[in-house]
């Protein structure tokens, strides 16, 4: 028997193993990029929350009318809501990353949840926005 022909299954198996390892590595890097994107997003949300409070604080200090005081109070609630959503999203992104890595390390396929983090954060932001609008126009 020709030695090259006898070695074909071994080379094919090795190539398949190498491809599987590279696919796992690429998936791991994709998980890292996704988590870093969530961290950037949540830092932006928290920064916007702090910025909103600071802007209306300076407006209140410049003009002590009843309207600027009310706007400052609404801005504080809205800013705190953004910061809380950002903290929750950061924790959830970290947990999602950790669970996906665990599955990947056990050679299981990572799964996408039926209620993704992006929808959860979007809904929380929508609720925070509606509450902010209601606070703004109710007073």
For residue range 99-137, list pLDDT tens digits in order.
988 988 888 877 777 778 888 888 988 988 888 788 778
Q: Which two tokens stand for residue 28?
A: 């791991």
Mean pLDDT of the region 64-90 = 88
Mean pLDDT of the region 58-78 = 85
HEC assignment per residue over 12-63? HHHHHHHHHHHHHHHHHHHHHHHHHHHHHHHHHHHHHHHHHHHHHHHHHHHC
pLDDT reported for residue 26: 87
pLDDT reported for residue 39: 94
* Residue 70 pLDDT grade (very low, low, confident, very high; cuts 50, 70, 90): confident
pLDDT reported for residue 104: 86
């Amino acid at each position: 028997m020709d030695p090259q022909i006898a070695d074909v299954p071994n080379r094919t198996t090795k190539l398949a193993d190498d491809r599987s390892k590279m696919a796992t590595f690429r998936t791991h890097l994709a998980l890292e990029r996704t988590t870093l994107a969530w961290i950037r997003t949540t830092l932006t949300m928290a920064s916007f929350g702090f910025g909103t409070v600071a802007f209306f604080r300076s407006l209140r200090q410049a003009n002590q009318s009843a309207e600027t005081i009310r706007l400052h109070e609404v801005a504080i609630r809205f800013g705190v809501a953004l910061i809380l959503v950002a903290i929750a999203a950061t924790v959830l992104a970290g947990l999602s990353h950790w669970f996906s890595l665990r599955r990947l390390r056990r050679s299981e396929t990572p799964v996408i949840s039926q209620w993704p983090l992006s929808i959860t954060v979007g809904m929380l932001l929508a609720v925070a926005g509606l509450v902010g609008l209601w606070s703004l126009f109710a007073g």
